[in-house]
Structure formats: structure tokens, C-alpha cells
Amino acid sequence: MRLFVAVNFDDKFKLRIMKIMSELQKNSERGNFSRMQNLHITLQFIGETENIGGAKAALSSLDFDRIPISFNRVSRFRRQGGDICWLGLSEDEELSKLALKLGEELKTRGFGLEDRTFKAHLTLGREVVFKHGFEPESLVLPENLSYTADRVSLMKSERVKGILTYRELYSKTYKESKQ
């Protein structure tokens, strides 16, 4: 099964993000925009594995406080055939530290992870082609687009009736880390 570890958001916050995505959709010719249920920040992509126990153990070993997340920009990774459009954080030091620690824990349990620098972002759409003249970076975000995450989740990625679906298999909250 395909696994990753993520910070998820409650529905109230996801609705705020959906308003931003709506503006992007209005200004795009095409794109594969994220479903509301799938909005998250990936801390570590694990990939194909049956070792759920090892992934849970890595997550269980984390010690973290509540994670302040504040989005301050829309940007994109330019790709041929369409860009990956995302929300960027004003500060991601805490998330970066957590992602690094999680990566170390996963590697000690035998997981082979991608060797790339962590760049905290929330993917809004893939293969997005914007209308001529529109620059997503010019989109003004609402004030205080902030969230405080208190848990990290092990997620399963699968297609259900052709729809990409993410399902939480396990989570660790900051309260558990203080015991």
C-alpha cells in the first residue's frame, strides 16, 4: 500500500483553502485540483510498503509540540504540461525539524525515503495551466490564514472507484508526546 505522513486540517480551515482554489480554478484553462478531503501537508512520503507497524512505530516515537502553520503565498513548481500550484508557509522551521526527525525514525526502521530537501507546502493543484496573463503568485491571501496542528497522521493513498482518496491509518497528537 502507498503511505505518507501528513499534517491534516479540520473542515472549517479546508473551506477557507477551497475559496483560494476556486479563484485559481477561475483563472486556469485546466488543472487537476485537490479535493477538499485530501488537503494536507506531507511531512514524509513513504511510498509502497506493507510495513504499517514500522511506520506507526516511527510516528509514535516523535516528540513534538503544537505546530503553528501560517500560509502567506500562492506559488508553483513549473512543469512541462502544467504546473503544481501550492500554498507556501511564512515560516516552516518547526515543520522542517519534525519532518527531519520523522525521516530519521523511518530510516532506522528500514524505510528508503526520497533524498530531497523538505519544502513545506500544501498542494492545491497539479497539471495546472493558467489563463494567459494570470500569475498565481499575484493572488492575495486572506489575512490570518493560520492553523495550529496538534497531530500528525499516517495516511494511506488509494484510488476508490477511480477517485484519489487519502485515509488516516494512525495518528499521534502532541498531548501523547508529553507523557
Residues annotated as catalytic are 40, 121
Bridge partners, 42 (sequence order): 6
C-alpha span between 175 and 173 (Å, rounded)? 5
Q: Which residues contact 16 (CB under 8 A, 6 or more apart)?
A: 142, 145
Contact 151, 171 (CB under 8 A): yes
Query: Do 136 and 85 contact (CB within 8 A), yes or no?
Result: yes
> Which cell numbers hold the place of 162?
477511480
Query: Cα dist. 29→25, 151, 174 in Å?
Result: 8, 36, 41
| Cα distance between residue 164 and residue 119, in whole Å | 23
Contact 142, 132 (CB under 8 A): no
Beta strands in 24-78 (DSSP E): 28-33, 40-48, 67-77
